Structure 1
Amino acid sequence: MAGLGVHVAASTVWEIIKDAGVEPAPRRGSVTWASFLRSQAEGIIAADFFTADLMDGAKVYVLAAIEHATRRIRILGSTLHPTGQWTTPMARDPVMDLEDAATTVKFLIRDRGSNFTEAFDSVLADAGIRTVLCNVRTPRMNAIMERWIGSVRRELLYRTPVWHHEHLRQILHDYEFHHNSHRPHMSLSGPAPLKPLPPNITDLDAFRIRRTHLAGGVINEYRPAA
């Protein structure tokens, strides 16, 4: 480095900064994306589109949202034409649900897709929710939402011929109910988002199990028969 005609080696500058206890700039008061997600989980929801193919070759776009803290999923709607005009009203449903549940949400994570518009963000802003945009081609920034989309594809859509749009709505409704009320989640230490674990059971012989089929038999649920 040079200044006022005096040349100082970079290593010398580093030693001076190090002796003064000054950390390198990237570590100075910075917050990583992972630490932001962990610290703000109670106030974060994420949204994204995924597609489903119908038997007639049509492609349906499905919009879903997930709460980071509880892992509760909401399938907001589905359409053949995911325009910004269609997407904007979809923002009102989770806002109303969160208000009814007295849940405080501060951030919504989404990608930069053209079907999300300023009007969509304005609906959220009116409810005090700030939109956080993912970087371009960085699905890991919305990993919880992407992981759920992978689950619904592997567990339902890849295993079920979807005859028409109404059939898709029905099986997605079944899967949403299954995910929120019955499917165990490792991140929650076992329970489903809307159903905590029952008290410890010591007499297992006193219980018989009944199996229930959903989504045409693709999903199985198990409950005590009595």
Structure 2
Amino acid sequence: MPLSVVVTLVRNLITVPAAMLRSRIAKDAEVLALRHENAVLRRQIARVRYEPADRIWLAILSTLIPRDRWRQVLTVTPATLLRWHRQLLARKWTFTQRRRPGRPSTAATVKQLILRLARENSTWGHRRIQGELARLGYPIAPSTVWAILQAAGIDPAPQRSGPNWRQFLTAQAHGIIAADFLHIDTTSLKRLYALVFIEHGTRRLHLAGVTAHPTSQWTLQQARNLAMTLGCRMDSLRFLIRDRDSKYTRSFDAVFETDEVEILLSPPRAPRANAICERVVGTLRRELLDRILVYNEAHADAVITEYIRHYNGHRPHQSRQQLPPDSYQAPAPATVTDLHTHRIRLQPVLGGMINEYQRAA
């Protein structure tokens, strides 16, 4: 029994001896006043709400009052008192804490695993997911997998959706090269344009050229120069990602299609479709162009070329386990260097705007 109910019952029981000690005339007057108050309340209130302690107290008093006087004294009917008693018995003998009959529900962790397999494998149907769960030690019926996917709004049939751009770029990284333009504002407020290419697999960055007038003919020539620079590496490329800029003409695409490179056009206003190239453009701005004044085309070409040498030969990349693009050596195990016996040599780049650090011989 809750503590609040016990406190209420004790408080009410204490008042019983005090009422018995009062004079008969005072008790009769108090009873008449209470009867009249009950009559007034019945006229104003359609239904009275009783707390559990009130119900128990009225049930106890009903045993002291003759049954034929209940209607005049109590504000509840005998049927209500009997119903309260039945509810107390039902609450005492309840079996709700016992396990419900029937098959137990699927664990929440298994449901999360089913949804994860469905999200990460768009070609898997509910039976394929059920087989993978059985292999992992979670035997479950295919119909249960189907119901869980339906409840989550996922089509249980295979090929729910094709690969997104992130999945496609990750799977084809070693055969993709991307191109993009970035603008550079000189000290004389003249705008220059630089055409850059980046290989997805190695993150190797290439500067095709810098010009103030990026015509279609100029862009075509830069594509030819890049194809000659890459040489035999062109055979490993399968896709070129570019946007829909009018400077990329049919002749530009033909330079790469000659080496069986397929052209992929990114959707309009969708920088994430060419995310790696967009990211390297942002890196060029943050680490170089926003920190230096560019005078002309030759100066822009020189500083970007110097930065690309640092980018390809020294700058670590998280996607390559902290290796620079031009390095093919696996990273050595991390060791603590004693700075008292090993000196760290600094090599400034671009006049000290960027620093490279190496162990001194």
Paired residue type of 1:53: D
Once the 2 structures are TM-superposed, how far is the Cα of residue 203 of structure 1 from its aligned partner? 5.1
Once the 2 structures are TM-superposed, how far is the Cα of residue 225 of structure 1 from its aligned partner? 2.4
Q: Answer yes or no: is the 8 Å Cα contact 1:190–1:197 preserved in 2.
A: no
C-alpha separation in 2, matches of 1:225 and 1:191: 19
Q: Which has the higher helix share?
A: 2
Matched, 1:43 2:175: yes
Change beyond 3 A, Cα 1:25–1:46: farther
Paired residue type of 2:182: F
Other structure's SS at 1:167 match: helix
Change beyond 3 A, Cα 1:80–1:220: same
Unpaired runs of 5+ in structure 2?
A: 1-145
State the superposition RMSD in angstroms. Answer: 2.4
Q: Answer yes or no: is the 8 Å Cα contact 1:65–1:73 preserved in 2.
A: yes
Once the 2 structures are TM-superposed, how far is the Cα of residue 31 of structure 1 from its aligned partner? 2.5
Matched, 1:174 2:306: yes
Once the 2 structures are TM-superposed, how far is the Cα of residue 69 of structure 1 from its aligned partner? 1.0
C-alpha separation in 1, matches of 2:232 and 2:255: 16
Q: Which position in structure 2 is the counterpart of 1:85?
A: 217
Matched, 1:199 2:332: yes
C-alpha separation in 2, matches of 1:224 and 1:156: 25
Matched, 1:212 2:344: no
Deviations 1:38-57 (A, max 9, x none): 11111001000001111111
Once the 2 structures are TM-superposed, how far is the Cα of residue 180 of structure 1 from its aligned partner? 0.4
Q: Which position in structure 2 is the counterpart of 1:221?
A: 356
Change beyond 3 A, Cα 1:103–1:185: farther
Other structure's SS at 1:216 match: coil
Q: Answer yes or no: is the 8 Å Cα contact 2:321–2:331 preserved in 1.
A: no
C-alpha separation in 1, matches of 2:294 and 2:261: 35
> What does 1:113-192 correspond to in 2, within 5 Å?
113-192=245-324
1:68 aligned residue (197, 200, 204): 200
Deviation >6 Å, runs of 4+:
none
Paired residue type of 1:216: G
Once the 2 structures are TM-superposed, how far is the Cα of residue 25 of structure 1 from its aligned partner? 8.6
TM-score (norm 1): 0.84
Once the 2 structures are TM-superposed, how far is the Cα of residue 124 of structure 1 from its aligned partner? 0.6
Change beyond 3 A, Cα 1:203–1:209: closer
Paired residue type of 2:205: I
Deviations 1:132-162 (A, max 9, x none): 0011111110000000000110111001011
Change beyond 3 A, Cα 1:40–1:58: same
Change beyond 3 A, Cα 1:204–1:102: farther
C-alpha separation in 1, matches of 2:156 and 2:214: 45
Unpaired runs of 5+ in structure 1?
A: 1-17
C-alpha separation in 1, matches of 2:231 and 2:158: 38
Q: Which position in structure 1 is the counterpart of 2:51?
A: none
Deviations 1:80-115 (A, max 9, x none): 000101000111233233333475000000000011
Pair member with larger Rg = 2
